Amino acid sequence: MTTPTNFIARKYRKTAVYAKFTELKDRKKMVRVVFQLLFIFAIIAIAVVTLLTLKAYKPYTEQSTKFSGDKGFVALSYFGVERIGKQNIIGIGRLREHLQALKDLGYVTITQQDILDYYQSGKELPEKSLFLIFEDGRRDTAIFSQGILEDLNFKATMLTYPEKFDKKDPKFLLPEELTELEKTTYWEMGTNGYRLAFINVFDRYDNYLGELVPLEHAGVAPYLGRKYNHYLMDYIRDEYGVPKESYTRMKERISHDYQAMRDIYTQSIGYVPGMYILMHSNTGQFGNNDKVSAVNEDWIKKLFTMNFNREGFTFNQRNSSIYDLTRMQPQPYWYTNHLLMRIKYDINQDLDFVTGNLNKQRKWDTRKGALEIKDETMVLTSLPKDQGLVRLKNSNDFEDIKLSVRLKGNKFGLQRIYLRADENLKNFLSVYILNNVLYVTEQNGSAEKELFKLNLDQHDGKTILSVSEDKKAAEQIALTTLLQYANSPEKAKAYAVRLENKTREVPPTVAEGAEPYIPEISVHAKGDRHLALSLKGDKLTIIVDDKEAINDLPVSNTKGGAIFLESAWGGYGQSQRNLADDVYDGVFDELIISENTGAEHEKILFDSKLEGFDNVKFKVKLLWEALVDFFVKYL
C-alpha cells in the first residue's frame, strides 16, 4: 500500500533525478553552443582575413617572364568554388592544387587588356600565359578563391548575371561587392549574359518540355538528354521543331536581354564588362540558326571587346577570332594530372606532371599516362582516348596473393588490376570495373577471354526499372516541376490533371517481361568500390563492398607474374558539358597486396598506407576535416 509519505518521497526522488538530468542536458547544450560560437567566430575571422587583403596583384614584367614567340594562351573557366566541392563546383583544396601546379610550371596570368593587345596590336604574350575565369558570380567563389589568387599572384575574371542583382540572392555577388573585388586588384569583370534560361527542351524520351528557367531545369535534369538549347541559341520552337515566334519577335526577345544587360551594368557598376561568354555556342558561329547567330553577333560586337564562344578546349592563338575564343572548364573530380594532361595535348607541348610521394613512386614503373601518389591514394591518369598503365617493380614472381583496394575513380571509365602478368601483357589474369560493371578476364597468348561479369547495381540489390516505369517517372517529375512553377492558375490546374492521370498509370515491370531500363552513366557520377581479391592456385574469390561477388572462380593456374594497374577512358558518357574530355583518373586507394599462404602473419608485398608520423598527420587532418564538416552541416 502506498502511503502519502512514500508517494511524496518517490515523487521527490523522481523530481531530483529529472532536475539532475535537466542540468546535465543544459550543460551539454551549453558546451555545444560554445563550440558552435567558436566555430562561427573562426569562420568569420577567416572570411574577414580573406576579403580584407593588404596585398596587391603584381603584373608580369618582361624581366621576370620568359617570351619565346607566339605560344598563344590557355583559358580555364571554373563554375564556382566552395569549401569541399560538389558536382559542378570545385573545392578549395582541389583548386589550389590545380593552380599551384600551373604556377610551378611557370604560368602567369594575363588580363583582358593583354588579350586585346595580343589580337589587335600584335603584342607578344609570355610563353606560358593563363587566362583564368570564374563563372556565375557566386559569393563563395570570391571568398574561397581570394586567398589562392593572392598566394600565387594570379588575377582572374569574375563573370556575373545582372538579372541576379535585383533579386539580391545571397548566393550571388551584388554590384557593390563586385566593386570591392576590383579594388583588391586580383579581379576584373566579365559577364555570362543577362540571365540563364533554356528553350526547346526535351526529356530523354523526347517528351517536349518547352522553356525552362534554372529551377525548373534543375528539377527535371536527371531525366534530360542532350536535346535542349540555351535561350539565345535558337528560335523558340514547338515539339515538332517549328518556330513559335517570327523573325521580328525572335530579334526583339534576344535584343531585350542584351539591352537589359547593358542598362543594369551601366546603372549598377558604371560600365558594361568587356568580356562575354555566349552560353552555349560551340557551333562555329553565334547560334544554332543563321538568323539567330546574326542577331547575337551584332549585339556581341556592339557591347563587348571579346567573346568566349566555345568550350571544351583550352588553347587560343592568333588564328582565332577574338570573338570566337575557347575555354576549358575543369571539373571538381579532375585530379591535377587530369588538368595537365588536357592542357598538354591541347597546346601540343611537353610539361611535367605532379608525382606526389617520391618514395612510393620509385616502387612503380609508369608505362603510360601519369601517376600521382598522395597520402594513401594512387591516382593514375590516362592518356587522351587511351590508357594509363603502371607496373609494380619486383613483382615478377607474384602468384598466390591477396589484394585489397578502394577504387574511387568515377563510375564512367575503367580501373583494372592485372595479376600474374608477363612483361608485354600477353598473358595475364585481370579484374576490372568498366562503366560500373565488374569483369574478370584472362589471356594466355591468344584472345582475351571473359570469365565473369556482374552489374554492380544488381550487386547492390537495386531495383531494375522497366523502360516504361522510368518513362512514367520522367513524366511525373516534369509535370510536378511544371506545376510547382506554373505562372497562372489555369496552367497549374492543367498540369495537376495531367499529373493525376499519369499517377494512375501502371506500366509493366521487368518481372512481367518488360524491357529493362539501362541508365546511361554520367561522367560526373562518383565511384567508390572496395575490392578484396583472393587468388590461390586455380581459384579466385572476389568480395565487393563486403559482399561476395564470386567464390572460387576457376582460372588458369599459371606460374607467377607481375602486377599492373590500368586506367582508361570509358567513351563519351552522359554530360551536357566537356564533351571533349577523353581523359580518365583511375583512383586506387589504400592498396594492400600480401602473400596468400594461409599463415597467420602473411608477408606484405605492397602497402600504400602511410606509416609513422606521416600517418599521424594524415589521421589528424582527416579528423579535423570531419569535425569541420560536422559543424558546417549541423550549425
The mean pLDDT of 518-526, rounded to a whole number, is 87
Residues 6+ apart with CB under 8 A from 363: 392, 393, 394, 606
The mean pLDDT of 617-634, rounded to a whole number, is 64
pLDDT tier at 73, thresholds 50, 70, 90? very high
Mean pLDDT of the chain: 89
Q: Are 261 and 272 in contact (CB under 8 A)?
A: yes
Distance from C-alpha of 618 to C-alpha of 476, rounded to nearest angstrom: 46
Distance from C-alpha of 79 to C-alpha of 90, rounded to nearest angstrom: 8
The confidence score (pLDDT) of residue 3 equals 42
Distance from C-alpha of 464 to C-alpha of 476, rounded to nearest angstrom: 18
Surface-to-core class of residue 439, CB atoms within 10 Å of its CB (0-12 exposed, 13-18 middle, 19+ buried): middle
Residues 6+ apart with CB under 8 A from 344: 350, 351
**205: closest CA among 472, 508, 483, 572?**
472
- In the predicted model, is pLDDT for residue 576 greater than 70? no
| CA angle (367, 371, 373) in 5-degree steps | 140
Q: Are 403 and 395 in contact (CB under 8 A)?
A: no
Helix (H, G, I), strand (E, B) or coil at 566: strand
**558: closest CA among 426, 450, 415?**
426
Write out pLDDT tens, residues 524-550: 899 999 999 999 999 999 999 999 999
Cell of 520: 546511361
Looking only at the bridges linking them, the beta strands covering 364-368 and 315-316 are unpaired
The mean pLDDT of 418-433, rounded to a whole number, is 96
pLDDT tier at 44, thresholds 50, 70, 90? low
Distance from C-alpha of 413 to C-alpha of 573, rounded to nearest angstrom: 9
Beta strands in 409-448 (DSSP E): 414-421, 427-434, 437-444
Q: Are 355 and 361 in contact (CB under 8 A)?
A: yes
Q: CB count, 10 Å around CB of 463? A: 9
Distance from C-alpha of 389 to C-alpha of 424, rounded to nearest angstrom: 12
Cell of 329: 572548364
Contacts of the segment 37-42: beta carbons below 8 A, 24+ positions apart:
39/628, 39/631, 39/635, 40/635
Cell 567508390, residue? 528
The confidence score (pLDDT) of residue 443 equals 96
Distance from C-alpha of 553 to C-alpha of 570, rounded to nearest angstrom: 26
> Which neighbouring-strand residues pair with 368?
389
Cell 589587335, residue? 120
Q: Are 199 and 234 in contact (CB under 8 A)?
A: yes
Write out pLDDT tens, residues 27-36: 656 656 555 6
Write out pLDDT tens, residues 131-163: 999 999 999 999 999 999 999 999 999 999 999
pTM for this structure? Answer: 0.87
Cell 553565334, residue? 286
The mean pLDDT of 253-260, rounded to a whole number, is 97
| CA angle (598, 599, 605) in 5-degree steps | 90
DSSP summary character for residue 222: G
DSSP summary character for residue 511: T
**419: closest CA among 529, 531, 528?**
531
Distance from C-alpha of 463 to C-alpha of 115, rounded to nearest angstrom: 54
Greatest pairwise CA separation for the chain in angstroms: 105
Highest mean pLDDT among 29-33, 82-86, 279-283: 82-86
Write out pLDDT tens, residues 330-388: 999 999 999 999 999 999 999 999 999 999 999 999 999 999 999 999 999 999 999 99
Report the length, in residues, of the chain. 635
Kindly state the percentage of the chain with pLDDT values over 70: 86
The mean pLDDT of 549-569, rounded to a whole number, is 95
